[in-house]
Amino acid sequence: MASIPLALEYKRYVLYLCRCSGLVGIESLYFCRHCKLLRCMDCVSVQIDGTCISCPSCNDSVPQTDAKAKKFRCTHCYQCPMCTTPLATRFVQLPPPPGKSESAPDTSSGKTDASPTKEGTGESTALTPKTSKRLSLTPSSLKSPGSTKMYYLFCTSCHWTTREVDIPDKRSLLDFKEKPHPFQDRYKALLSYYKDLDLYERVSSQNMSRQVSGRKPRPFSSLLDTSKYKKDPEVQRVVKQVQSVALSAKDPVRLPDSYYTEPVDVSSLTTIQQKLLDPSHQPSHVKDLWPHPLPLISRKTIRCRGCDHILLKPDVNVNLVRFKIQHVAIQVVPRIRLINVPKLTLGEPSLVPVSITSPVSYSMTISFNQLSSSKKLKEILCPAVIPEGSFVLKSLDDTSDLLDDSSQSVSLGADQSDYVLSSEPGRIVLKFGAIPSREDIDAKIGFEVVFSYEPLIEADRDPGVTELTVPVIINCGHSFA
Amino acid sequence: MSARVTRTVSSPAGRSLASSRVRGNLVPQDKGAIVLDIGHVHTKLGVSGEPAPRYIVKSEVLMKPYGEILNVWDDKYINREELYLILCRFLHKVFLEYLIINPREYRIVIIESIVSPLNFRNTLAKALFIHFSVPHVCFLPHPSACLFSLGSSTALLIDIGLKETSIVPVFEGVSLIRSIMQTTTSTSSLHSSLQLLLHEHCQVKNIANGDIHPLSDNKDLELTSSTLSNIIMQTCFVRSLDFGDATPPDVCFPINAQFSLIISGLVRCHVADILFEGCDGDVSLPISLVESLLLCPIDCRSQLCENIVVVGGSASLPGLNYRLLEEIRLLCGNSRYQCLDALKFKFHELHSHPNYTAWQGASIIGAVESAILERSITKEDFKLLDYHLPDWMSCNSQNWGSLQQVSPQKIPSSQPGKVIQTVKSGFEQ
Amino acid sequence: MEQQDIYYDSSEYIETSSGNKVSRTCVLCGSQNIVLNGKTIAQSECVFRGDLANINIGRQCVLGKKVIISPPYKKLLSGGAFYPLQIGDNTIIGDNTIINATVIGHSVYIGRNCVISRAVVLKDCCRIEDNTVVPPETTVPSFTVYKGNPARYVDDLPSCTQEVMMEATKSFYQHFKPQKK
């Protein structure tokens, strides 16, 4: 007996076929009211919502320009360089310093406990984002007069701390800045060199051939080749200048003997994954690790690719899960569900009970077609028995619970009622059939669901009933009798 | 007070200026380029004008709804239509989850290997232009990219990749195409050599009870490729020939909570020998290097030899360059290579980690806006080329220039759906 | 798949006036500090440590078997204290999971055998996969899936997660029926 709802398990029995022939669960389908089309994540256009960039840990919303300047990383949340968990903040309260020398923090961890300091869990970023922000930005605002708070970072998962790698405690969380790239100056020199060269090339080529219309791209080698400027003293000067910082071909160095004699402690070395967390330094020893600022996350605006109307627009407040605009399939498309995993018999029609639930407040007419599918789909599907005729799903209103069920049931023709197992407002259970043809794979049946759609808003251009079609594929499993 | 007043006055004007620029559909100047190097194992991604990539991530993507994890270079899909969908989802992750940018506002620089499969290039371009509607894509050949990061115009590049090592001589900015050498002796040969040696010489220690038994007895202990590369990077090094037969100490390498591997010193220093012996009948690194030199014009050789650059993930193995030099010197004693004996061989000291040297070069050149725009393919060009990229060598051919003058046409908006449609039908199973 | 009827032994469960169904095998310490806001199901052998601090659980939640819910302890400069624990509406918690969080939002799915450590914040509409350990003091943002030990981001949730969770918990409550005799 399952103790939690099975509907949320990852194994999906029912998948909807998007018009771009992607198979998706109904939750990831969007519905464009203007094109009257269902679209999956592969056939919508997704954009970053500039107002919804936030830190996953402290939940502070960061304006896009600020985020860009910080390379889309949080300014005061950090990530463990060992295990990528967000680091918690701890502080040590130092007594009012009689002389400044005492405030130099004790870097060997553990010793601070012996000195007359109090150690406490700083209001961790996870607990109260607002306070922690205040703490981190202006630590002076909270401290008691005279005493100083010194912060260090601590991983709650692998217990790595900034003290372990001899990073002194800081007065503010902002001080755990990333180390600059080791060859930054050289990089900048090269950058300005190539900019100059490009400009020079552009000017000289314009002088030479002003009359030639249209651009004619040069290969990249033209930027590398400086020999053609041999006669130009100005270019030569720039070239010499950059070569003095850039070129450094040497004889390779022989490995020191320690490689052959010293034992290696793997636990003091970083793994490749840990190295790559910090592309610019790639420390190979654990002692060189440095906390990384936490990458920000963003919510996305989703637009229809056909008409560019917005299908999903998140709320500005990153703490809310509301959406300003949300047009998802779950609001209009009937939900198809398997009642249970059916018992199948190879080569014979087996009963597959399927429930159809209407999400809408109007009564929905629904019918089924055989799937006109591509060759590849036909290979994986087995023949299906599909109910004929159309069924009406009455709207589910809140008072229906109080009324007698029988008065609400669907009126059906005599032959149609053969297909109906049970019906109630907004929900009907129908008999489908599968004729499994192969034992080695899951038996899957496919059919098209044709359902009526009435726009909720009258302002939509053509009011009235429209028929929409969505192909559905049901995996009936392979429990053969 | 006065400062506040001026700020409120100036801000609306500034905003309208910015918005008008965006509306004019120009690529704003300050945004820079997105630089991507999609490698077989890791993808280096970042923004131009920065000395290192922002992220180095696995070139893998989670494919829903079945939840399989696929490498973008997966052999199964490399020549099939499904690659389009894999690349679309991978690039979606790169642009919208890692970089948090809208790709259509940026120019894109892609570093491509000179031997990248045609279908991969075309599909990548299609994904960028059609699915993400980026305005400009610039395909930058890997050798040029490396040279930009060196600030030099001549180099003998050795790029040790996962499946292939390529040796490309570049003289005064021109890749000497006839002298390019390819060999399958590469990182994957390191992996297979390590696996073989481990099964022959290594023992597994059960952490719980201290039992030690040979690895070959333990069938269900699987060494993944990431474990293998960690073993190589953390414990192994390249032995120099003049050191003789000294054996370094054994290393205990924990694999999981249950077992750790005792890697013998012999394995540690002999794993990399495969690079100098050649694997699967293909030539070794030093031989392909000197062969490539023999193919170069005589007057280029001395300059190339003095500018040897080793890049790629495995280039960071300690002692690799020294051993390479030793092996080349040995080969020079051979009569075939005697003409190279007088040359001086010098190796460049990289100013980046060897796994993102090419990325760094591309990031430099990506920041030079006019240089990139001139050499980029626009969406309209791509349409006129009938969704096929020109070969990287023919970029400066005559018909390219005439292409620019044809008036650009808009790609019909129904296109993206169609492409995905044809692609996805291949995935149904 | 449609929710199946689940029949429980009517002698095992206590149903309160607001529709909560709590197994008699549950341990409720300090019951005056425990608030279940209605239609919540707590299955057998759950433990609620209301004696430490207040526990507030929203409407229509589903708690699996042997779930332990214990308010978090927080060390402060002046000693320490237990802080109240709040769980939002329509949240599902799998079997054998230990909850020591500060806040769990609404429409959250927590799998089986998870450890939600001290002072964790799970925002609304997130999902923790089975056998996951969320390390102390971390925050899991909305619309994400976390997995592993330590928990890492693996995937995104669709935008209509709230509706899906509401429906799932509602139908579970409707199908959680006493055994007919």
Q: Per-residue DSSP letters for A267-302?
A: GGB--HHHHHTSTTT--SBGGG--PEEEEPEEEEEE
Judging by DSSP bridges, how do beta strands C68-69 and C47-49 pair with one another? parallel
B54 is a domain residue: yes
Closest Cβ opposite residue B370 in set A42, A202, A222: A202
Average pLDDT, chain A: 78
Using the Cβ of B225 and the Cβ atoms of chain A, whether some distance falls under 8 Å is answered with no
Q: Which of A355-364, A456-465, B243-252, B302-311 has the lowest mean pLDDT?
A: A456-465
Domains of chain A: 56-182+268-295 (no CATH), 333-475 (2.60.40)
Band of residue B12 on the pLDDT scale cut at 50, 70, 90: very low
Band of residue A457 on the pLDDT scale cut at 50, 70, 90: low
B19 is a domain residue: no
Which CATH number covers residue B334? 3.30.420.40
Q: What is the mean pLDDT of residues A313-321?
A: 88
Instruction: Give B223 or C72, the one with higher predicted confidence.
Output: C72
Give residue-wise pLDDT tens across range B93-115.
999 999 999 998 898 999 998 88
Size of chain B in residues: 429
Sheet (strand A118-121) strand order: A118-121, A88-94, A148-154
Looking at the fold, whether B309 and B245 belong to one and the same domain comes out as: no
Looking at the fold, whether B130 and B268 belong to one and the same domain comes out as: no
Give residue-wise pLDDT tens across range A191-204.
888 888 888 888 87
Looking at the fold, whether B93 and B138 belong to one and the same domain comes out as: yes
Looking at the fold, whether B168 and B317 belong to one and the same domain comes out as: yes
Q: B256, B273, B290 — which closes off a domain?
A: B273
Band of residue A9 on the pLDDT scale cut at 50, 70, 90: low
Judging by DSSP bridges, how do beta strands C6-8 and B377-378 pair with one another? unpaired
Pairwise CA distance, residues A59 & A64, whole Å: 15
- Find the domain containing B211 and state its range: 195-273
Looking at the fold, whether B290 and B177 belong to one and the same domain comes out as: yes
Is there a contact between B153 and A262 if contact means CB atoms under 8 Å apart? no
Give residue-wise pLDDT tens across range B36-48.
999 999 999 999 9
Looking at the fold, whether B269 and B281 belong to one and the same domain comes out as: no
Band of residue B429 on the pLDDT scale cut at 50, 70, 90: very low
CA–CA min distance C30, chain A (Å): 24
As for the ipTM of the complex, it is: 0.89
Collect all residues of chain B within an 8 Å Cβ-Cβ radius of residue A190: 148-149, 151, 364
Is there a contact between A338 and C124 if contact means CB atoms under 8 Å apart? no
Using the Cβ of C79 and the Cβ atoms of chain A, whether some distance falls under 8 Å is answered with no
Distance of CA A214 to the CA centre of its chain: 43
3-state secondary structure of B275: helix
B253 is a domain residue: yes
Collect all residues of chain B within an 8 Å Cβ-Cβ radius of residue A298: 96, 100
Closest Cβ opposite residue A198 in set B47, B249, B368: B368
* Residue type, position A370, single letter: Q
pLDDT of residue A416: 63
* Residue type, position B156, single letter: L
Give residue-wise pLDDT tens across range C83-102.
999 999 999 999 999 999 99
B230 is a domain residue: yes
B246 is a domain residue: yes
Closest alpha carbon to A249 in B18, B325, C25: B325
CA–CA min distance C173, chain A (Å): 9
List chains touching A (3+ CB pairs under 8 A).
Answer: B, C
Looking at the fold, whether B125 and B234 belong to one and the same domain comes out as: no
Looking at the fold, whether B54 and B79 belong to one and the same domain comes out as: yes
Looking at the fold, whether B35 and B138 belong to one and the same domain comes out as: yes
From residue B107, alpha-carbon distances to B28, B356, B408 in Å are: 10, 20, 18
Query: What is the tally of structural domains in chain B?
Result: 3
CA–CA min distance B359, chain A (Å): 11
Domains of chain C: 6-178 (2.160.10.10)
Is there a contact between B151 and A242 if contact means CB atoms under 8 Å apart? yes
Looking at the fold, whether B339 and B402 belong to one and the same domain comes out as: no
Pairwise CA distance, residues B282 & B285, whole Å: 10
pLDDT of residue B398: 38
Average pLDDT, chain B: 82
* Residue type, position B303, single letter: Q
Pairwise CA distance, residues B155 & B169, whole Å: 6
Give residue-wise pLDDT tens across range A422-450.
888 888 899 888 888 877 778 888 899 99
Is there a contact between A191 and B150 if contact means CB atoms under 8 Å apart? no
Give residue-wise pLDDT tens across range A268-279.
999 999 999 999
Collect all residues of chain B within an 8 Å Cβ-Cβ radius of residue A250: 346-349
Looking at the fold, whether B41 and B125 belong to one and the same domain comes out as: yes
**CA nearest C102 in A: which residue?**
A127
Q: What is the pTM of this model?
A: 0.87
Per-residue pLDDT at B2 exceeds 80: no
pLDDT of residue A104: 39
Per-residue pLDDT at B326 exceeds 50: yes
Looking at the fold, whether B223 and B342 belong to one and the same domain comes out as: no
Collect all residues of chain A within an 8 Å Cβ-Cβ radius of residue C166: none
pLDDT of residue C80: 85
Pairwise CA distance, residues B90 & B263, whole Å: 36
pLDDT of residue A462: 62
Instruction: Give B212 or A479, the one with higher predicted confidence.
Output: B212
B385 is a domain residue: yes
3-state secondary structure of C92: strand
